[in-house]
Structure 1
Amino acid sequence: MIIWRNDYYDEIELQLEEALDDSTVQALRNAPYLVKQENLLEQGVEDSTWLPLYKYMNSPAFVNRDKERQWRNIFLETPNETLRSRLALWEERNLRIAAHIRSATAREPGGRVLITIGASHKSFLDSYLKKMMEIEVIHLSDLIEY
């Protein structure tokens, strides 16, 4: 695993914490789509049924809502330069992840790569990877019926 952290993030980290005041974070945590995610997570822990959580978190509705609520509403549309910088760093991080994935595919042309990634990265990576030549993005929902 490659762990990478941008030096500029370190410079703005305290400002970022201030910009993400408690009310902003609490409003995000209380968003109905994230409350449902938390409930499905608790259920999965209780009875080891992870497929409902996976299905929900990988649904277009969840992915689009998360991208809109978390990245567009908070980091892009809030008039705060630190939050806008955080968005730019997030996109840079996702581009680096996509580049690492593409590098892995170069080692096995025509092969397959299994990617397990945090849900907030999914829509960005799907978009980047789908634009690459010789890359076909296949989701679990494409392979099994659930």
Structure 2
Amino acid sequence: MIAVVALMGGVAVSAQDYSPAFRPDAMDDRPAGEPNQVMVLATPHLSQWRDRLRPETVEPLVSRLAKWQPTAVATEDSSGLLCDMMRRQPARYEEAYRSYCFDPSRAALATGLDVPTANAKADAMLADWPDIPAPAMRRTLAATFLAAGEPASALVQWLRLPDSQRIADGILTSDLVDLLKARAQRVNETDLIAARVAARAGLERVWSVDDQSTYMGALQDEEGYGKALTHAWDNEATKARIAQSDALASAITSSDGLLNLYRAFNDPSYAIEAYKSDWGPALAAPSPQGFGRRYVAYWETRNLRMVANIREVLGRRPGTRMLAIVGSSHKGYYEAYLHQMRDVKLVDIAPVLK
């Protein structure tokens, strides 16, 4: 009996140090064919500087990224299909839907397509897409992408048209043309960087891989939740991050200044400092409701689903060279999760940003 108790006690102790024998990242085999390559660009959310940034300021960055010749571009946007699912469950997702989803209703009116049907049509068109599509085909695909809830991919089609062909035609009504023209002027990393890189690289779309569908249940005490996290984030690492960001942001109106910001946000040290500033202190927050741990559970779940979406895209065409553009706080998690996958090779973005 004593031996059994001791054995049980030993299991309880050793369980704390258990690690799996199977680690895909430690395998030394080689997948067949060309590897999937993923280069992650950490970005600030550029919309905060919409009054200060112009497309010409971003041009040196766009040019560098396009020269890497990606064959896929992924963005921190929720897909039309995910948003359609969220829209149908307002009790859970109404706030997230309103905050993060594109409204396809104008395109639905013009095309007669709902989101699932429009996605299926876009897939069918691209499956039989010619090397040199007629301008009318691009306009039709742009309208279809808008109805599918994929405005960034619609913008890629618009940007690939010659200026003389950026006109209303067929299901691409004048209302949708106005929408695309406005989209082309928006200051955010999806429209200003991702869509332009994709168009310049000769791609037909971008991939929306964000996932805002995480549902952690009711908080019961939202004020207490906010106070717990605010207290956790009040630390020296956070103060240092804010000071660094403010100093870099003061120079973003010049191309060199913007590139310096991207170089800093993509430095390996940034992800470590972000953890020390954010999720590490949150995990240690002592609230009896476990608010910090609930927050980190949400964050890790979201990042896991985003990386799963990336992996799904890579599986469509093995040997893909993907540029994944994501908010700076996500990059560390992106790369940590992707690094575990045997058929994914991470690419250092530092040489591209030089």
- Where on the TM-score scale, by shorter chain, does this alignment land: which range? 0.7 to 0.9
Residue identity matched to 2:328: A
CA RMSD of aligned residues (A): 2.2
- Within the candidate set 280, 283, 295, 1:76 is matched to 283
Q: Is the 8 A contact 1:94 1:121 kept in 2?
A: yes
2:248 is aligned with 1:40: yes
> Which residue is 2:39 aligned to?
none
* Residues 303 and 334 in structure 2, CA contact (< 8 A), matched pair in contact too: yes
Contact 2:283 2:292 in 1 (8 A): yes
**Percent pairwise identity:** 25
Say which structure, 1 or 2, has more relative contact order (CA 8 Å, 6+ apart): 2
The answer for the alignment partner of 1:59 in structure 2 is 267
Moved over 3 A (4+): 23-30
Q: Tell me by how many angstroms 1:29 deviates.
A: 8.7
For residue 108 of structure 1, the aligned residue among 317, 323, 328 is 317
Q: Could you say which structure has the higher helix fraction?
A: 1
Aligned to 1:123: 332
The answer as to 2:299 corresponding to 1:90 is yes
Preserved contact between residue 28 and residue 70 of structure 1 (Cα < 8 Å): no
Residues 129, 30 of structure 1: alpha-carbon distance in 2 compared, 3 angstrom cutoff: closer
- SS of the residue aligned with 2:347? coil
Q: Which has the higher strand share?
A: 2
SS in 2 for 1:83: helix
> How many corresponding residue pairs?
141
Q: Which one has a bigger Cα radius of gyration?
A: 2
State the SS of the aligned residue for 1:117. strand
- C-alpha separation in 2, matches of 1:99 and 1:27: 32
5+ long unaligned stretches in structure 2: 1-76, 79-210
Instruction: List gaps (5 residues or longer) in structure 1.
Output: none
TM-score after normalising by structure 2? 0.37
Contact 1:37 1:56 in 2 (8 A): no
